[in-house]
Chains A and B, each alone.
Chain A
Amino acid sequence: MSRIDVRKTYKLYIGGQFPRSESGRSYVVNDAKGKLLANAAQASRKDARDAVVAARAAFGGWSGRTAYNRAQVVYRIAEVLEGRREQFEAEIRASEGVSPARARAAVDAAIDRLVWYAGWADKITQVVGNANPVAGPFFNLSTPEPSGVIAVVAPRGPLLGLVSVVAPLIVTGNTVVVIASEDNPLTAITLGEVMATSDLPGGVVNVLTGSQAEIAPWLASHMDVNGIDLTGVEDVELAAELEVAAADNLKRVRRPSPDTDWLAEPGLDRMTQFLETKTVWHPIGV
């Protein structure tokens, strides 16, 4: 008799742990051919709120680390991802039905993207910060600081899009609650396993799987969320509703970007949109 394989239970990734949805719900995830891959946890409003609590709790410590340290942690995620690349390639092929070459290219790009963003941790300040020559005897310095807890709706796809929206947020010191692609949620949880073993503190990235339309409004209206990235919202009406809800506490909003080429090198905007600029004045005199 052939060996029966041990299948993995896909749960959520919240506060460094992998809990099931408190709602006790799950939904069927099929591969590209319509065959069952697994049941994914279907996150609820309560799960979303727990994730925000975890992200908020992690924010002080994470944003307070040196940029050099954050760079090394994000780089470490790339290292660990490289070591598990075969698993990710297999998951991408199963989920999207793409060729081995396409899957490999997606994993390559995801690893390289993490490395690219890792290098920004201690450089973004040097590129967007300023010493300002004010007309008076004052020292005046503007530096970027992370906005806080950012909710993200990840774009369609198992890995590259997800990495591309999460990395720019955490490298600058934000913490994240991300809703994984509804159709490709399993790899997002596997990525959570990578993050959980890469010295990334629990709560810096929290991954929810389930219905975008159900969870996103709770995050958009959550008063302890400082920004929301709507990249993966394909429903134009939903996006507008989320933006309206986000206005209640003036969340920084990034609108959907349906035509993004995830293989292309990004710009700085995914970082700068969720950075505050702090300007410090100090008199100069004897």
Chain B
Amino acid sequence: MFEYAPAPESRAIVDIKPSYGLFINGEFVDGTGTSFKTVNPATEEVLAEVAEASDADVDEAVKAARRAYTRVWSRMSGAERAKYLYRIARIIQERGRELAVLESIDNGKPIKESRDVDVPIVAAHFFYYAGWADKLKYSGYGETPLGVAGQVIPWNFPLLMLAWKIAPALACGNTVVLKPAETTPLTALLFAEICQQADLPPGVVNIVTGAGDTGRAIVSHPDVDKVAFTGSTEVGKAIARAVAGSEKKVTLELGGKAANIVFDDAPIDQAVEGIVDGIFFNQGHVCCAGSRLLVQESVADEVLERLKRRMSTLRMGDPLDKNTDVGAINSGEQLKRIRELSEVGDAEGAERWEVACDLPTKGFWFPPTIFTGVSQAHRIAREEIFGPVLSVLTFRTPSEAVEKANNTPFGLSAGVWTDKGSRILSMANRLRAGVVWANTFNKFDPTSPFGGYKESGYGREGGRHGLEGYLKGEAS
């Protein structure tokens, strides 16, 4: 591997305050709860103290959202709502570098991903849904908003998940109370400042920081009309139970255990790139990650050899270094879970291979890892690890591949690698997953719906279909 000189992106562009309050009714307020610290996972440096919203704070936020909904936002024409969303999209573009650096500092993801993937898609997402605000009559889902949306998002794509939640909600005429994850609140708070710059009417967007209790307060608040959650299947099920018997509309985007299926006629080098992208992109903290490699037996040895060679060239380390491919694990807690499940993999008899590299002494790190000799019964083939750990299984026929791929309670995504178009389409038809990538992986676009089958959740985000979760729908 070539030696590269360090090429760190400057931190000078971001201004992290020592402490942050809640963003309610267009202003930052102290809140009545306690506070928590957010750290840089690459260094364990404390970045800021952040308010933990209490039940009373959440109630204030919901009231502000309701007022804004009733008095301003639901009365405004779609064309005028669109202009606010276009403004937000443009400010995100203008402040793109700042957002990218802050995201990498707070989340641990490589700057090349936050800069080239997260932030551009965030801006595009607002731009796309801005255009829907005055075109809802063409959506096929009616034009009537739901009211106040309570939204709880994860730490793996903090700003992108915020965009997926807020952009369609606002376009459809709803107001929102959003809680970012407790380990990655900073870009959401910077987004609050962007809302101020855009002169968004107070209360249309409210950001309340906190952990599980704050999330529960939002989800169970009686004046919330819509709950949107991205996160673990376990919490998703708890939310489904919590809203049972209410009028709340719910969309859930949950876990996955995607099969990435490589046939013997696949272009192997491209497939290897796709496998690497599928599981090591964003340190594997991706709900749709291709965490199960299903490779046809006849090419398994060759694929694995090339995969290991490619993995050996991945650069791991400082997320702000422009050459870094794999950054830090987002939290000590997540690192513990990845370690535990990997040890279960060892104990159950799978063979571990990891990239030999020097890990930084501070921060949370886990090297890119693959397990071979994995059977379908192994926990590392069934449970979501949510880290840079790939389980490798083999198959002989397309039917066997389909059976193994679908042998999971999840159904978020899948990948197919083959030169044969008819086989791609036949596999796509038979895979029980909400997104199927063929000869590519981890592709996202504002126009393209995303979401899962089975226990990967329900509802879609993105595209025209993403409007459905925020509209009342045609009367039935």
Contacts and interface: CB of A to CB of B under 8 A. Distances in A.
Q: Do A and B come from one complex?
A: yes
Interface of A: 67-68, 71-72, 75, 112, 115-116, 118-123, 126-127, 137, 139, 268, 282-286
Contacts of A137: 426
A126 B421 contact: no
Interface residues of B, number: 24
A119 B134 contact: yes
A115 B464 contact: no
Nearest to B463: A126
Interface stretch (B122-130, B190-198, B388-396, B451-459): B122-130
Interface of B: 79, 82-83, 86, 124, 127-128, 130-132, 134-135, 138, 398, 421-423, 425-426, 429, 446-447, 463-464
Contact of B135 (A72, A119, A283): A119
Top-6 shortest CB links A-B: A119-B131, A284-B425, A285-B422, A283-B422, A126-B464, A139-B425
Contact of B422 (A72, A120, A126, A286): A286
B134 A286 contact: no
B134 A68 contact: no
A80 to B, nearest CB: 13
B464 A123 contact: yes
B398 A286 contact: yes
Contacts of B138: 123, 127, 268
A120 B135 contact: yes
Contacts of B421: 282-283
Contacts of A71: 127, 131
Contact of A282 (B124, B422, B464): B422
Nearest to A268: B138
Nearest to B93: A72
Given A115-B83, A123-B135, 17 more contacts: A67-B447, A71-B127, A115-B82, A115-B86, A116-B79, A118-B131, A119-B131, A119-B132, A119-B134, A121-B131, A122-B128, A127-B138, A268-B138, A282-B421, A284-B426, A285-B423, A286-B426
Given A115-B82, A119-B135, A122-B447, A282 B425 contact: yes
B443 to A, nearest CB: 14
A116 B423 CA distance: 41
Contacts of B124: 68
A172 to B, nearest CB: 14
Given A126-B463, A284-B426, A285-B426, A116 B86 contact: no
B272 to A, nearest CB: 24
7 contacts: A75-B127, A121-B131, A122-B446, A123-B128, A123-B464, A126-B447, A286-B398
Mostly, the A contact residues are helix
Contacts of B463: 126
A199 to B, nearest CB: 13
A127 B398 CA distance: 35
Contacts of B429: 284
A116 B86 CA distance: 11
Contacts of B131: 71, 118-123
A120 B131 CA distance: 7
A286 to B, nearest CB: 5
B425 A127 contact: no
A71 B131 CA distance: 9
A111 to B, nearest CB: 10
Contacts of A72: 127
Contacts of A115: 79, 82-83, 86
A122 B128 CA distance: 8
A122 B134 CA distance: 14
Nearest to B449: A126
A161 to B, nearest CB: 19
B128 A116 contact: no
A137 B430 CA distance: 13
A72 B422 CA distance: 36
A251 B422 CA distance: 37
A268 B137 CA distance: 12
A77 to B, nearest CB: 13
A57 to B, nearest CB: 28
A194 to B, nearest CB: 18
A132 to B, nearest CB: 14
Contacts of B86: 75, 115
